[in-house]
Amino acid sequence: MTDIWLEQANAYINYVPEVDKPRPSLDGVLANSPEGTLLVIKHLMRNHLDSPAELIDYAAEADLAELAALAYELIIGDPMRYNSLASGFMHKIQQQSPSAAYPYVELLFGKSYASIYDHVFWRDPAHIPFLKSILTDPNRADFERRLALEYLFQSHDIPTMKEATAIARTLPALAGGAQGDNADAIEQLVRYCCMRAGLELLANDEFRRLTSDTVYHLAFEVPYLRTISYSGYKNTRYLNHPTWFRNEVDVIHAPFGGVTNTTCACCSRPLHRLLTLDPVPPGLVVTSRRRLELVTCNTCVIWTNEQLYFVYDEQGHATSYGDKRFIELEYQNKPYLPTSVRLVKTPERWRYQDYSHETRENICRLGGFPTRDQNPEYPACIQCGKTMSFLLQLPYNLPLSNGDDNMWGDSNTDYYFWCDDCAISTMVGESR
């Protein structure tokens, strides 16, 4: 039997602009043929053609090691030309399969053309001995030892992070300048590394986790997404992205969107429901409630300057935290369009996703790490003052009940946080 998708992949590869047109579409190949996808990616990598690293997302997991080897070969063969490969393809492979990229990452450490490598490269705990040897080597440059410190925190291994913190405190010059007392700067650097690893460094030098290992993707159905005119939902490749888990059958169905029967203390209108978890699935940062109806007020988070908090009773029903304020608001934003969303337990490959890629993959995530871990910001609980844990994130491009998309404000993604002791939630918008 002829493989039509393999044929299509070859037609894409052999396309000659002067003769044929238009270029054959890749979408069917990516969705249906791992073999064809691999062919196309290797062709693009070797020929350095517009380097669409996100094609890696559609490759079979089993092919990532081969692609990592090719990326390394190309980087070493021509460092200047393949700088973007280093930051693109290798980055993607490492993020989705640390073991596939493992053999090459240490070889690239500290190389000038690898300096744009991100921390995510170092999430494989197998790198711990290598990074420790650099951190403790007085012959290494300060910047290399600082990188080793930062990368060690990406192991998310608590004994390793404690040891790295202790070593860093003996090396104050790592924080930047070599003069004077940089102990405060080291403490700041350590706290920053902790936050990027989803941890808080407490006064007693213990670490407190602000994230969960377990992640669920909110896998909305195509007809739901297409109720709005957002152009991404016309894009076949986006809708076929593996993070929508179209064929996954082992799912939890959860009510999403609409309003609740309690009112917002600011605008006195019904609170907007995000997601009802009944029961709260295991492995999340919520342990003090068996059931939870997470809420927000889409109006007040935009049109007031207040940080809004919501408190949940024993049954998981929310009310606004604090006194009624009766703020007069000219505008009113709609709740999310009600639906039943599929919650899919996220496989290891998609446990980490990049910052702000809401236009090419599904970043509706419950639990795990916020995709914003570049600039972590975890708010303090309004009641107890403790740093709140990350619970949920939603991008701006979901349908609202009036048929619009959520284009208000200047936020790309909303991040929801939870205090398990007080059963309080709050929201932090991106770039706000």
Q: Give the binding site for Zn ion (CB under 5 A).
A: 264, 266-267, 297, 299-300, 381, 383-384, 419, 421-422
Nearest-approach distance from CB 383 to Zn ion, in angstroms: 5
DSSP per position, 150-181:
HHHHTT--HHHHHHHHHHHHT-GGGGS-SSS-
180: left (phi over 0), alpha (psi -120 to 50) or beta: left
Amino acid sitting at position 394: L
For Zn ion, which is the closer residue by CB, 233 or 309?
309
Instruction: Residue 171: name the closest of 209, 121, 132 by CA.
Output: 132
- Give the closest residue to 110 by CA, choosing from 79, 81, 145, 76: 145
Residue 253 pairs in a beta bridge with 342
Best CA proximity match to 63, nearest among 44, 32, 41: 41
Q: Is the Cβ of residue 9 or residue 301 nearer to Zn ion in the bound state?
A: 301
Q: Closest separation between CB of residue 297 and Zn ion, Å?
A: 3
Query: Closest separation between CB of residue 259 and Zn ion, Å?
Result: 11
How many angstroms separate the CA atoms of 414 and 427, rounded? 7
* Token pair of 289 as six digits: 């409630």
Residue 27 parent element (H or E): helix 27-32
Could you give the CA distance from residue 220 to residue 343 in angstroms, rounded to a whole number? 9
Which residues, at least 6 apart from 275, have a Cβ–Cβ distance to it below 8 Å?
A: 218, 254, 255, 256, 293, 294, 341, 366, 392
C-beta of 120 vs 422, nearer to Zn ion = 422
Nearer residue to Zn ion within complex by CB, 358 or 414:
414
Question: Min. distance of Cβ 363 from Zn ion in angstroms?
Answer: 25
Tell me the closest approach of the beta carbon of residue 266 to Zn ion, in angstroms. 4
Other beta carbons less than 10 A from residue 348's beta carbon: 11
CA distance 97 to 348: 8
Cβ-contact 120, 198 below 8 angstroms: no
CA distances from 144 to 117, 160, 186, 343 (A): 13, 18, 15, 41
CA distances from 363 to 209, 244, 394, 430 (A): 21, 9, 7, 14
Which letter does DSSP use for residue 386 in this model?
Answer: P
Nearer to Zn ion, 24 or 379 (CB): 379
- Least CB distance to Zn ion at residue 267 (A): 3
Q: Would you say 17 or 385 has its CB closer to Zn ion?
A: 385
Residue number with CB closer to Zn ion (178 or 384):
384
Which CB sits closer to Zn ion, 109 or 416?
Answer: 416
Residue 150: C-alpha distances to residues 130, 156, 188, 245 (Å): 13, 11, 12, 33
We find the least distance from the C-beta atom of residue 300 to Zn ion, in angstroms, to be 3
Residue 359 C-beta: closest distance to Zn ion, Å: 28
Closest CB to Zn ion among 136 and 288? 288
Least distance from Zn ion to the Cβ atom of residue 427, Å: 12
Task: Please identify, using beta-carbon distances, which residue of 189 and 264 lies nearer to Zn ion.
Answer: 264
Q: Which residues pair with 209 in a beta bridge?
A: 199
> Please, what is the minimum distance in Å from the beta carbon of residue 290 to Zn ion?
19
